[in-house]
Structures are given as structure tokens and as C-alpha cells.
Amino acid sequence: MTLESIIPPKGHKTAKNINEIYLVCGYMPNDLGRLIRSGSLQVELIPKIIQGILLGIQFIHSAGIMHRDMKPRNVLCDAEGNIRIADFGLAIGPTADGCQLINYVVTRWYRAPELLLECTNYTVKVDVWAIGCILGEMVAGKPLFRGQNAKEQLKLILSVLGKPLEEDVEFVQRESYKKVLKTMRAQPAKPWASVLPKASEQCVDMMGKMLCFNPAKRITVEEALHHPLLCGLPYDETKPNSTAEFPFVTESKDVNTVLEMLVAEVYPKCAGSENAENTSVVA
């Protein structure tokens, strides 16, 4: 997403006073959630939309950052299927010393099993799971798993994926959860073709690779970009390296330091000065 300008709240020109900041980005007429609910999403645009999401996530993953809230409402789009990923409020980079990843992230319907099972060592694969859910929702016209709470969400997932193999629950950190999964009643997986009868063979295959219970077996973003579903869609295969654009992890700095950096970005010539001119900075 293109950052057009940065606008500070009127009259707040120092880190001591600033409590909000406005980022102005390029306009997009719709979000994917609204488009799906309207029933006007064209089936032929689904591969292009998924490719756009994957390319955006590939970029932020290349900096070691997880989005952690991928869902249709956070994918802005236009009538041609061009997309922009929005809402980085839960995004996080490599955790600082002493910090622990929380599992209460990602809107429940798009939350990966490792999050539902309260794992705190999860990876970028949580974004891949969410993208798989988005793909299924575009095909079905409604969310795949609509649990009312974490327990029901996991139950709905297992009702489709079936009882996981013993080797596929070893990533679970809590022994009590691991025991429940290992001793649950045998339950076969449902073929994705029966869950999504309108889906193409390529779409069903990608769904199965993205929505793997075991994150270690889940497809990577790079692998997904080369999947047959996206065959024929051109894109620059040069792997992005955005590390230089995210040189620090916010969690490593105190709030005042971060605010000082924001002020320096907004008022580059006289950061921290009460006499700084209240103007926006075009990126």
C-alpha cells in the first residue's frame, strides 16, 4: 500500500503531546469482505486476488514480520482484482529479548490451530492459514469456520480435517491439549471437493496445502505463488528483501523513543520543536 502522506493531529508537535497520527494511503473502493457478501465477486478474479495477497504477505514476511490479522475485511480491492493489505495493528517483527508472542491474535474465524491451542512459538504460517480461509470464503461466499469461541472453532476445523496424526500434534506445547488430540475419537477428513463443490481442482489442491493442521506441513507463501492455481498470472519472481525498510522492532524500544521517531518523521527539520510547522510530509 502506497503511503501518500503523514498527518499529525493539529497542534501536537512533540513526542510529549502527540497521541495519534494519521497515515494517508491510496484510495481503494472496496474491501474483500464486503465484495464477497455482496455476491458480486467474479470467480475469474479469485486467482488474481490470491496472488496479490500472497505477494503482499511475501514482502512483509521477508522482513520477518507477521501480519497476524489476515481476513477479507483487511484486504482492500477494486473491480479489477487489484488488492492492498490493510490494518497492521497486530503485526509484529522478530520479538525482542524477554518478549513472548501472544496467541490471542487473528480474528477467530481465520485463526490457525496453533493459535487456538495457545502455542506461543508460532510462525508466519499463521498468515498462510488465514489466507487459506480467505480463499475458501471467496469460493463458498461465506466463512469456512464460524466458531463462537476458540473451542468451537477448533471443533469445526477438526470436523473437516479429521483427527490429526500423532506426529501432527507434537508442535502443541500444552500437554493437556496434546493428550486430548491424541485420544479423540477417530474421525476421517472430509475431501475439500465435497466441502467446496464449486471449487476448481487447482483451488481444492491449494486449500488442502494451506489448511494443514500441522504448521510444519503447511505450504509456504513462496510455494503457493508457484501453485497451478496461479499458473499464467505474471509477476516479478525476484524475492523481496524488505529488511532494510524495517530496521528495528518496536517492542525493543520504550514508547517515548518510538514517539520521538514518529515526530522526527513528520517534522524532519525541527523534530521536538514547539515551533515546528504543522504540515504533512509526503512519502
For 225-272, write each residue's pLDDT tens digit.
Answer: 999 999 988 887 777 766 656 655 555 677 777 777 777 766 665 444
Task: Return the CATH fold of 41-238.
Answer: Transferase(Phosphotransferase); domain 1 (1.10.510)
What local confidence, expressed as pLDDT, does residue 275 receive?
Answer: 41
What percentage of residues in the chain have a pLDDT greater than 90? 61
Give the Cα separation of 60 and 192 in Å (integer): 29
For 99-157, write each residue's pLDDT tens digit.
Answer: 667 676 778 999 999 999 999 889 999 999 999 999 999 999 999 999 999 999 999 99
Give the Cα separation of 23 and 194 in Å (integer): 44
- Residues serving a catalytic function are 69
- Mean pLDDT (the chain, rounded): 85
pTM: 0.85
What local confidence, expressed as pLDDT, does residue 239 receive?
Answer: 74
